[in-house]
Amino acid sequence: MTTPFAPRHWSSRFAFLMAAIGSAVGLGNIWRFPYLAGENGGGAFIVIYAITTMAIALPILISEIMLGRMGRQSPINAMRALIAEHRAARIWMLIGWGGTLGAFVVLSYYSVIGGWALKYVELALTGAFAGETNVAAAEHFSAFVSDRHSVWIWQTLFLGITVGIVAAGVTSGIERAVVMLMPLLFVLLAGMAVYATTMPGFGDAMWFMFAFKLEEVKPDTILAAIGQGFFSVSVALGAMMTYGAYLDKDVSIGRSAVVIAVADTVVALLAGIAIFPLVFTYGLEPSSGPGLTFITLPIAFGTIGGGIVIGAIFFLLLSVAAITSAISLLEPVVAWVEEGVRLPRAALAVIVGALAWVAGIGTVLSFNLWAEYYPLAPLGFMEKKTVFDVLDFTTSNIVMPAVGFLMSLFAGWVLTRETVEEALGARGRRWLPLWRFSLRYVAPLGVVSIFVANVLM
Binding stretches for ligand PHE (CB under 6 A): 23-24, 26-29, 231-232, 234, 237, 239, 325, 328-329
Q: Which long-range contacts (CB under 8 A, 24 or more apart) does 337-344 make?
A: 338/5, 338/74, 339/3, 339/5, 339/73, 339/74, 339/77, 342/4
SS3 string, 285-308, reads CCCCHHHHHHHHHHHHHHHCCCHH
Distance CA 46, CA 335 (A): 36
**Cβ-based nearer residue to ligand PHE, 199 or 334:** 334
Helix (H, G, I), strand (E, B) or coil at 212: strand
Distance of closest approach, residue 28 Cβ to ligand PHE, in angstroms: 3
| Residue whose C-beta lies closest to ligand PHE | 26
Q: Which residues lie closer than 8 Å to 133 by C-beta, 6 or more apart?
A: 299
Q: Would you say the C-alpha torsion 261, 263, 265, 271 has a positive or negative sign?
A: negative
Closest distance between ligand PHE and the C-beta of residue 19, in Å? Answer: 11
432's CB contacts (< 8 A; 6+ apart) are 417, 420, 421, 424, 426
Q: Which is nearer to ligand PHE, 57 or 66 (CB)?
A: 57
How far is residue 241 from each of residues 17, 142, 149, 210, 431, measured CA to CA in Å?
Answer: 13, 37, 36, 34, 21
- Decide whether 266 or 414 has the Cβ nearer to ligand PHE: 266
How far are the Cα atoms of 68, 76, 247, 282, 457 from residue 71, in angstroms, in the given order? 5, 9, 11, 52, 37
* Closest distance to ligand PHE from the beta carbon of 236 (Å): 7
Nearest residue (CB) to ligand PHE, 141 versus 231:
231
**Least distance CB 339 / ligand PHE (angstroms):** 20
> How far is Cα 318 from Cα 26, in angstroms, rounded to an integer?
8
- The Cα 237–Cα 244 span in angstroms is 13
Q: What residues have CB less than 8 Å from 330, skipping those under 6 apart?
A: 103, 107, 162, 163, 166, 349, 352, 353, 356
Closer Cβ to ligand PHE, 15 or 239, answer by number: 239
Q: How far is the CB of 372 from ligand PHE (least distance, A)?
A: 27
Identify which of residues 237 and 333 has a Cβ nearer to ligand PHE in the complex: 237
CA angle 386, 24, 451 (to 5 degrees): 50
Residue 399 CB, shortest distance to ligand PHE, in Å, is 10
Min dist CB 303 to ligand PHE, Å, is 28
Q: Is 283 helix (H, G, I), strand (E, B) or coil?
A: coil
- Residue 5: phi and psi, rounded to 5, are -110, 165
**Closer by beta carbon to ligand PHE, 154 or else 231:** 231
Closest CB to ligand PHE among residues 103, 300? 103
DSSP letters for 325-363? HHHHHHHHHHHHHHHH--S-HHHHHHHHHHHHHHHTHHH
C-beta of 296 vs 328, nearer to ligand PHE: 328
| CA atoms of 243 and 324, how far apart (whole Å) | 13
Distance CA 398, CA 244 (A): 24
**Residue placing its CB nearer to ligand PHE in the complex, 23 or 74:** 23
Distance CA 190, CA 124 (A): 20
Question: At its nearest, how many Å lie between ligand PHE and the CB of residue 360?
Answer: 16
CB of 132 to ligand PHE, least distance (A): 26
CB of 377 to ligand PHE, least distance (A): 27
Q: Which is nearer to ligand PHE, 116 or 231 (CB)?
A: 231
Task: Work out how close the CB of 432 gets to ligand PHE at its nearest, in angstroms, rounded to a whole number.
Answer: 26
Cβ-contact 272, 209 below 8 angstroms: yes
Of 61 and 295, the one with the shorter C-beta distance to ligand PHE is 61
Q: How far is the CB of 416 from ligand PHE (least distance, A)?
A: 29
